[in-house]
Chain A
């Protein structure tokens, strides 16, 4: 392997030496951005020059300054939450400065977002040949989101079963082990090194700019785990002027309607506080945040106490080189709830549970990204990250009930973006991932994955964008077999008119088994999990064809997006009881599946105050091994959102429906009382946001949140009641 790695590095150095060019005559882009209605300068508008790393954020005067760029043709993308994204065509100028003034149109419903996850570079959603959903920071902030499942639960095509997030049916319920969706924080991997799972709480949502969700197999760029798609949490850019922000929320869960379910005298509360700071000090810019959350839980023995801190520092060495370093610490102390006692006592754990047992989980993420602009057409990104996870319960280590693991995930990636001509863009790189685990339950193991990838985007014609990508991953886990995975992808986007376009994509995905799946030897709530080092990687193939139509008739924007998809998955790893003893479980490659579906999304904004957004996903998930419906998958996921914008206040409703899951593991019935108790899911959330700036000139917002207001009782995982009605108040502000 040493030989091949050095060859790859040599290839990169060769590329760099060829591509380093000196700057020709450079200019400065000097522009100002205003609100179209109020004519006031807009602060915080992100400006990016398409296909280049150059960009800036508007200051308090709405000014955007991008220095030292070659005098050439550019497309400048201007985006800001709450405003319609604008793309400006800029032409060469004779002077040293290119000046412009632009007015952004207010648009409460975002329709033309920009994302980075589809191609590892910033681009408009309309230029991506695959389905993408974007959750903006307003929605995350107002809904008091502190965990990933809360952030993505109202996204079309997404279903959450316990600790597993499924995009278009990719995952079922696997006790949170082995995610089939890659999770990233600012492009850095965030799946744990041992369980390969998502830590829902290890993300700084208070300072997130948006959450990008790319649907369909994405291993051609991201490698392992991108079987169902990619979720990337993107944090805010640092502010030019100092800004302090805070959020404080508190609320309570409704008491159980049924006397059998009562478990506490008072009301169970859920509260939290976040504070953030962002400022640029000359060449150094900083973004800092910290939060504390306490949740008493809506069931007995389900409380949690969480603390987090996150810092992102960026230093501009020169106009062409900058270094961003980020670090986050996330701690969670929660009760070790696994499942209910029975449906008759759904708010209580099994009667023999020791209620003094806690599960302590700590996560430390350190990321560094060096960006260097070699020339206007070539830029280099070198990324390194460490994710350290540690969890343990407070049983003595000698006890058979002890669970604990320490894992270290290290990732290093060298990426080049090259614009060969005006009409094409190449993204290519090498990537090394290393996982190391020390655990009484999983043993001491390491796992390495070395990969090389390349993706080209070409415009053979003005209205056609062709994307072709390929990635090869070599996985080596000592004491298990080695695997080499090839993940190609191809996509095409055709713009029939300015408002109507079609996309089509076909890609491969794979997931290397996690160390926990291969080497688990653990006793877990009466179950014994046995190791299986012979596990093979899971694989997927995704095909999608989609259409997007956007019109702006008078004052009414209207967007419709329709996609048909087919995902084929094989070698799926699932925990299965052994024939000789149903209480002994082993992870095995057993399932082959096909999921065919259609997804329809509609957005509009009527009468100047009424926003409507709906997304319907209908799927037929078939287990080809058993010729029955795939377990833990709903056929229908319907999400609908409505907003009434009355200037000083906004009123939101979020409704979610999932039909009753048809199949679960029947073996669960043996040890989990009422495991098959499941119903369709209907949840309705209401939210009233008062802008105190408009009514009292205070830089504050007051939000009243009512989640699951109908107090509908349902479960998303066997033996687990989903959150009941919650009423809360939030105050947030920026200074």
Chain B
């Protein structure tokens, strides 16, 4: 490195040369809005990310007039109360936007605030009518037994990947 002509030039008595001024001006011109390190005070996010897999593919979905919204919701309690109440009581974390309809699979991410948190019931939910009308269409379970949902402990700054299988012809037990 020390043999390099630019290194010598930059570190020489020409430090105050127009080139250095140019570099200084360029630094002032540097564009904001690009990638930047996360603020030192911020903590890494705790995330649940994963995939919803629809058994039978996009042709297995119910009629379009019965699908208003699809979310993945992680509940602290099992069995949970109804979705809206649990969310209002801050007992549940959920995907911010609806997931896509009539697809073979869909990826999702839930940001979990105030970890560590234990979620005792994580489900994909379908809004089939008004905002209060939801039912579970898939449950997070490692064994495949829909009657035995698995618990997930979310720790600070960690990311958890899960998969939920949805079978519209064989829905899980309805907790809400």
In the complex, the chain B residue whose C-beta lies closest to that of A256 is B37
In Å, the complex CA distance between A65 and B159 comes to 71
Docked Cα-Cα span, A586 to B147, in Å, equals 31
B5 touches A250 (CB 8 A): yes
Mark the stretch among A435-443, A479-487, A557-565, A624-632 that contacts chain B: A624-632
Q: Is A257 on the interface with B (CB-CB < 8 A)?
A: yes
The stretch among A159-167, A318-326, A712-720 that forms the contact with chain B is A712-720
In the complex, chain A residues whose CB is within 8 Å of the CB of B102: 627
A628, A670, A709, A712: which contacts B100 (Cβ < 8 A)?
A: A628
Residues of B within 8 A of A669 (CB): 47, 49, 109, 159, 161
Chain A, residues 235-273, CB within 8 Å of chain B (1/0): the string is: 000000000000000111010011011000111010000
A688 to chain B, nearest CB (A): 12
> Contact between B37 and A343 (Cβ–Cβ < 8 Å)?
yes
Chain B: residues with Cβ within 8 Å of the partner, total of 39
- Closest-by-CB residue of A relative to B53 is A579
CB pair B34 A713 closer than 8 Å:
yes
Contact A666 B26 (CB under 8 A): no
Determine whether B107 belongs to the interface, using a CB cutoff of 8 Å to chain A: yes
The one of A250, A627, A674, A682 in contact with B101, judged by C-beta atoms closer than 8 angstroms, is: A627
A127 to B67, CA, bound (A): 51
Could you say which of A346, A706, A715 contacts B37, with CB atoms under 8 Å apart?
Answer: A346
* Chain B, 97-140, CB within 8 A of any chain A CB: 100-109
Instruction: Return chain B residues, CB-CB under 8 Å to A714.
Output: 34-35
Interface 1/0s, chain A 710-728, versus B by CB < 8 A?
Answer: 1111110000010001010
Q: Which residues of A contact B159 (CB under 8 A)?
A: 669-670
Query: A267, B7: Cβ atoms under 8 Å?
Result: yes
A709 and B29 within 8 A (CB): yes
Q: Which residues of chain A in 669-728 are interfacial with respect to chain B, using CB atoms and an 8 Å cutoff? A: 669-670, 674, 677-680, 682, 706, 709-715, 721, 725, 727
Complex CA distance for A633 and B173, rounded to whole angstroms: 40
Interface string of B18-48 (1 = CB under 8 A from A): 0000010011011101111110000000010
With A267-B6, A666-B109, A715-B35 already in contact, the answer to whether A254 and B103 are too (CB < 8 A) is no
Could you tell me if B23 and A727 are in contact, using CB atoms closer than 8 angstroms? yes
Chain A residues closer than 8 Å to B33, beta-carbon distance: 679-680, 712
Contacts of B11 in A (CB 8 A): 266
A96 at the interface (CB under 8 A from B): no
**A105 interface hit (Cβ, 8 Å):** no
| Chain A binding surface SS class | loop
Nearest-CB residue, chain B, relative to A270: B6
Judged by a CB distance under 8 angstroms, whether A582 is at the interface is yes
Chain A residue at smallest Cβ distance from B42: A344
Give complex CA distance A417, B10 in Å. 59
Bound-complex Cα distance A75 to B104 (A): 57
Contact of B161 among A250, A260, A670 (CB under 8 A): A670
A679 contacts which chain B residues (CB < 8 A)?
Answer: 33-35
Q: Total contacts A to B, CB within 8 angstroms?
A: 109
In the complex with contacts A250-B5, A627-B103, A343-B38 CB distance below 8 A:
yes
A667 interface hit (Cβ, 8 Å): yes
CA distance A682 to B105 in the complex (A): 33
B47: min CB distance to chain A, Å: 7
Write out the residue numbers on chain A whose beta carbons fall within 8 Å of the beta carbon of B88.
none
Verify A266–B1 contact, CB threshold 8 A: yes
A261 and B37 contact, CB distance less than 8 A = yes
- CB contact between B103 and one of A625, A713, A715 (< 8 Å): that residue: A625
Bound CA span A267–B8, Å: 10
How far in angstroms is the closest Cβ of chain B from A381?
A: 46
A626 touching B103, Cβ below 8 Å: yes
Does B4 sit at the interface, judged by CB under 8 A? yes
Kindly state whether residue B155 has any CB partner on chain A within 8 Å: no
A258 with B36: CB separation less than 8 A:
yes
B86 at the interface (CB under 8 A from A): no
What's the minimum C-beta distance from A636 to chain B, rounded to whole angstroms?
A: 16
B163 in contact (CB, < 8 A): yes
User: Residue A258 contacts which of B26, B37, B109 (CB distance < 8 angstroms)?
Assistant: B37
B4's contact among A266, A345, A682, A713, by CB below 8 Å, is which? A266
The one of A250, A628, A711 in contact with B31, judged by C-beta atoms closer than 8 angstroms, is: A711
Q: Are A710 and B49 in contact (CB under 8 A)?
A: no
A254 touches B5 (CB 8 A): no
Residue from B11, B103, B108 having most chain A Cβ neighbours under 10 A: B103
B131 CB to closest chain A CB (Å) equals: 23
In the complex where A254-B23, A679-B34 touch, is A710 in contact with B29 (Cβ < 8 A)? yes
Q: B1, B5, B7, B49: which contacts A666 (Cβ < 8 A)?
A: B49
Q: Are A712 and B6 in contact (CB under 8 A)?
A: no
Whole-angstrom distance from the CB of A436 to the nearest CB of chain B?
36
- The verdict on A269 contacting B104 (CB below 8 Å), with A669-B49, A710-B30 known, is no
The answer to whether residues A626 and B106 also contact, given A257-B27, A266-B7 and a CB cut-off of 8 A, is yes
In this complex, what residue of A is CB-closest to B33? A679
In the complex, 12 of the A-B residue pairs with CB atoms within 8 angstroms, ordered by the A residue number, are A252-B10, A254-B27, A266-B7, A346-B37, A626-B105, A666-B108, A667-B49, A669-B161, A682-B34, A710-B31, A714-B34, A727-B26
Point out residues on A near B: beta carbons under 8 Å.
250-252, 254, 257-258, 260-261, 265-267, 269, 343-346, 579, 582, 625-628, 666-667, 669-670, 674, 677-680, 682, 706, 709-715, 721, 725, 727
**Given A682-B34, A712-B33, A713-B36, 19 new contacts (CB under 8 A):** A250-B5, A252-B6, A254-B23, A258-B36, A258-B37, A267-B7, A269-B6, A343-B36, A343-B37, A344-B38, A579-B51, A579-B53, A626-B100, A626-B105, A669-B161, A670-B161, A679-B35, A725-B26, A727-B23
Q: 9 closest A-B pairs (Cβ-Cβ)? A: A713-B34, A710-B31, A666-B107, A713-B35, A712-B31, A711-B30, A712-B34, A627-B100, A260-B37
